[in-house]
């Protein structure tokens, strides 16, 4: 493996025919395939030597043991016998052999057939103390390609894993962070110097955290990025639902920018900032639940961040310099609202804001700046009172009394919490409030496009605004901060 990092489709069907159908379905997006013979029915596995010729792509032969996350149930002697027969009869480009497998016979089979050995170690329980050293220790010769696949449980693990991308042999290295926190290692492999990246058919994932081939190629620009690519991203928890990568990466494509925007599921912001340093990142979007907790870690903050106490955008001039916090949520929130209200927010507008987190802070600041009358409601009354006190507005608990008070502040109702967002799509944060039909209802959640809260408002006759409009407005402002260019809106299709 040398040169451009190939994208390899893992095939986990029970028949060769179904595996071949998946190859044809995704052929335009992939460079190689991994035949997971441990998933094949016994007669199909016995005939698997003919698959490389059928696929017409470089093919990795893998018969994974259950202890390594595989499905082969025939016992170790039968597994080695199957590998021996397939290597002798097939034209596989690579064979995956585990690091603890002492098998000179299989290595000789591979050498005789011109098949390279991937020497792999899978740790399903966590990330070892020194992944780089462990990866370097895996090859039994300089001809083997080391592969380390570990379960990444948080940002500390990811920070520890990234240096492994600089290790390996002259033949290359394969580094995989499994699980949601390890997702960036999959899409960043061609940027970090990985020699192979894996993807799976949707619903047939070969390992935790696999991405489908089309998303790897289209959304994450897999075949258009490399070592010189600038990395941007969005941090949150959860984050898999985020549409921001599709937006920003579409903008980079349209303008021909060598950049990639990646989601990071972040449990520890300080550890993430070390990851950002390792990746030489210069721009980061911040979403729930980190908009407030990131503020003390900033080196500088723009006036809106200081005024609001929440930050949704990190920018620095160059890697290694200090982070400056920005907040594009205020204008992102107001732009769609102004359009619906005919161009401006009328002074004295009576508005209820549900929630008291980072997004709510931006909304309250925006509405107070427009001279609206605002009521903040939150399940934890003390948080509602604290936020309201900062901006000189009213507050109430999110209970029966609070829902009664909402009637006095019902020209506009804004829902700022994560309630109703995928995957918890059934949640409604204000079930006790009965819409009367005159309210303008604005939900900041954008996935799903219509939450149960927004659906209830629409069915009551209310005008509604979904979170996607705010998402786009604030994203356009972030794009300008990151790249110095206006977002090419004509290039953005349906999202």
Active-site residue, selected from the candidate residues 17, 291, 371, 455: 291
pLDDT digits (tens, 9 = 90+) for 370-391: 999 999 999 999 999 999 999 9
Q: Tens-of-pLDDT digits for all 495 residues of the chain?
A: 556 899 999 999 999 999 999 999 999 999 999 999 999 999 999 999 999 999 999 999 999 999 999 999 999 999 999 999 999 998 999 999 999 999 999 999 999 999 999 999 999 999 999 999 999 999 999 899 999 999 999 999 999 999 999 998 888 999 999 999 999 999 999 999 999 999 999 988 777 778 999 999 999 999 999 999 999 999 999 998 899 999 999 999 999 999 999 999 999 999 999 999 999 999 999 998 999 999 999 999 999 999 999 999 999 999 989 999 999 999 999 999 999 999 999 999 999 999 999 999 999 999 999 999 999 999 999 999 999 999 999 999 999 999 999 999 999 999 999 999 998 999 999 999 999 999 999 999 999 999 999 999 999 999 999 999 999 999 999 999 999 999 999 988 777
pLDDT of residue 1: 57
The angle subtended at Cα 325 by Cα 333 and Cα 472, nearest 5°, is 30
Task: Please say whether the beta carbons of 439 and 409 come within 8 A.
Answer: no
Domain 247-329+473-491 in this protein, CATH class: alpha beta
Please tell me the pTM assigned to this model: 0.93
Q: Cβ of 104: how many Cβ atoms within 10 Å?
A: 8
Q: What is the DSSP letter of 28?
A: G
Cα 314 to the center of its chain, rounded Å: 18
Residues across the chain:
495
Task: Please say whether the beta carbons of 331 and 350 come within 8 A.
Answer: no
Phi first, then psi: give them for residue 45, nearest 5 degrees.
-60, -40
pLDDT of residue 3: 62
Q: Which candidate, 202, 260, 243, 150, places its Cα nearest to that of 29?
A: 202
pLDDT of residue 74: 93
pLDDT of residue 90: 86
220: left (phi over 0), alpha (psi -120 to 50) or beta: alpha
Alpha carbon distance 292, 445 (integer Å): 18
> Based on the number of CB atoms within 10 Å of its own CB, is 123 exposed (0-12), middle (13-18) or buried (19 or more)?
middle
Please enumerate, as own/partner, the contacts of 184-188 that have beta carbons within 8 Å and a separation of 24 or more: 184/158, 184/233, 184/262, 184/263, 184/264, 185/152, 185/158, 185/161, 186/210, 186/211, 186/216, 187/211, 187/216, 187/220, 187/222, 187/260, 187/262, 188/231, 188/260, 188/262, 188/279
Cα 382 to the center of its chain, rounded Å: 33
pLDDT digits (tens, 9 = 90+) for 332-351: 999 999 999 999 999 999 99
CATH number of this structure's domain 7-226, picked from the four choices 3.20.20.70, 3.30.750.200, 2.60.40.1080, 3.10.520.10: 3.20.20.70
Bridge pairing between strands 324-326 and 313-315: antiparallel
Alpha carbon distance 298, 87 (integer Å): 56
Number of H helices, E strands in the chain: 19, 20
Alpha carbon distance 379, 402 (integer Å): 10
* Paired tokens of 403: 């829902």
Q: What are the structural domain ranges in the chain? A: 7-226, 247-329+473-491, 339-472
Task: Please say whether the beta carbons of 211 and 218 come within 8 A.
Answer: no
Q: Is-catalytic flag, 291?
A: yes
Task: Please say whether the beta carbons of 273 and 265 come within 8 A.
Answer: no
Instruction: Give the CA distances from residue 159 to residues 15, 238, 383, 391, in Å, rounded to whole numbers and listed in that order.
Output: 39, 19, 33, 39
* Paired tokens of 270: 């300080």
pLDDT of residue 493: 78
Task: Please say whether the beta carbons of 232 and 282 come within 8 A.
Answer: yes
pLDDT digits (tens, 9 = 90+) for 231-242: 999 999 999 889
- Topology of domain 339-472 in CATH is Rossmann fold (3.40.50)
Question: 247-329+473-491 and 339-472 share one CATH topology?
Answer: yes
């Amino acid at each position: 493996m040398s040169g451009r990092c190939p994208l390899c489709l893992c095939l986990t069907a029970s028949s060769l025919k179904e595996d071949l159908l998946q190859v044809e379905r995704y052929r335009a997006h992939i460079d190689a395939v991994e035949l997971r013979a441990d998933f094949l029915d016994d007669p199909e596995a016995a005939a698997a030597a003919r698959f490389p010729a059928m696929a017409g792509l470089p093919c990795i032969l893998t018969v994974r043991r259950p202890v390594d996350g595989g499905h082969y149930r025939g016992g170790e002697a039968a597994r080695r016998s199957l590998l021996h027969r397939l290597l002798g009869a097939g034209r596989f480009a690579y064979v995956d052999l585990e690091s603890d497998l002492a098998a000179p016979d299989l290595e000789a089979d591979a050498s005789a057939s011109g098949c390279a050995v991937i020497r792999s170690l899978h740790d399903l329980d966590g990330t070892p103390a020194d992944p780089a050293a462990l990866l370097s220790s895996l090859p039994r010769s300089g001809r083997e390609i080391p592969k380390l696949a570990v379960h990444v449980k948080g940002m500390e693990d990811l920070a520890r894993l990234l240096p492994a991308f600089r290790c390996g042999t002259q033949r290359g290295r394969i580094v995989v962070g499994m699980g949601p926190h390890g997702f960036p290692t999959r899409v960043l492999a061609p940027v970090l110097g990985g020699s192979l990246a894996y993807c799976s058919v949707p619903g047939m994932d070969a390992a935790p955290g696999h991405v489908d081939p089309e998303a790897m190629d289209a959304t994450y620009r897999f075949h258009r990025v490399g070592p010189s690519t600038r990395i941007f991203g969005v941090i949150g928890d959860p984050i898999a639902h985020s549409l921001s990568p599709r937006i920003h990466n579409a903008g980079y494509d349209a303008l021909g920018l060598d950049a990639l925007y990646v989601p990071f599921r972040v449990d520890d912001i300080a550890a993430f900032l070390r990851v950002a340093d390792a990746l030489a990142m210069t721009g980061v979007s911040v979403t729930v639940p980190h908009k407030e907790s990131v503020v003390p870690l900033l080196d500088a903050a723009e006036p809106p961040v200081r005024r609001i106490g929440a930050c949704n955008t990190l920018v620095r001039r160059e890697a290694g310099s200090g982070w400056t916090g920005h907040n594009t949520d205020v204008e992102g929130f107001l732009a769609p609202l102004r359009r619906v209200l005919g161009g401006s927010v009328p002074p004295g507008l009576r508005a209820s804001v549900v929630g008291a987190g980072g997004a709510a802070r931006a909304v309250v600041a925006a509405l107070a700046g427009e001279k609206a009358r605002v009521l903040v409601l939150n399940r934890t009354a003390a948080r509602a009172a604290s936020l309201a006190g900062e901006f000189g507005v009213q507050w109430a608990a999110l209970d029966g009394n609070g829902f009664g008070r909402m009637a006095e502040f019902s020209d506009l109702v804004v829902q700022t919490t994560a309630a109703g967002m995928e995957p918890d799509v059934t949640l409604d944060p204000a079930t006790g409030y009965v819409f009367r039909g005159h309210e303008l209802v604005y939900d900041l959640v954008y996935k799903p496009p219509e939450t149960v809260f927004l659906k209830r408002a629409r069915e009551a006759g209310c005008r509604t605004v979904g979170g996607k409009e705010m998402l786009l407005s604030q994203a356009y402002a972030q794009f300008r901060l990151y790249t110095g260019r206006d977002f090419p809106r004509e290039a953005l299709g349906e999202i």
